[in-house]
């Protein structure tokens, strides 16, 4: 992964790269961005059908930078990856 330098949009301070974890039913994983809106059936509180609605769509790993001075977070979805597979056997 190429290093991405960023300057805080809020205060101009320097940033550190990190990531935001996403909890699945039984594990944690790095957040992912899926192109488009989820189908109406996937918009409930459990969002359990996301694996099926993400299939065949553009999916990118989310990289997040935190300002070391003020804590502002800025995220980028640069690297294309496979969609999440939460319930695969």
Query: What does the pLDDT average to over 45-50?
Result: 56
Residue pLDDT, tens place only, 56-71: 788 898 889 999 999 9
Q: Tell me the H-state helices in the chain.
A: 50-54
Tokens encoding 27: 């594990």
Single out the residue of 87, 34, 86 nearest to residue 56, CA to CA: 34
Question: Looking at residue 19, what is its pLDDT?
Answer: 72
């Amino acid at each position: 992964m190429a290093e991405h330098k960023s300057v805080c949009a809020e205060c101009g301070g320097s940033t550190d790269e990190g990531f935001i974890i996403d909890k699945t039913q039984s594990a944690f994983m790095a957040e992912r961005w899926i192109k488009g809106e989820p189908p109406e059936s996937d918009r409930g509180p459990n969002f359990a059908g996301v694996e099926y609605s993400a299939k065949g769509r553009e999916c990118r790993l989310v990289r997040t930078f935190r300002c070391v001075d003020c804590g502002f977070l800025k995220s980028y979805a640069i690297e294309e990856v496979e969609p999440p597979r939460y319930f695969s056997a």
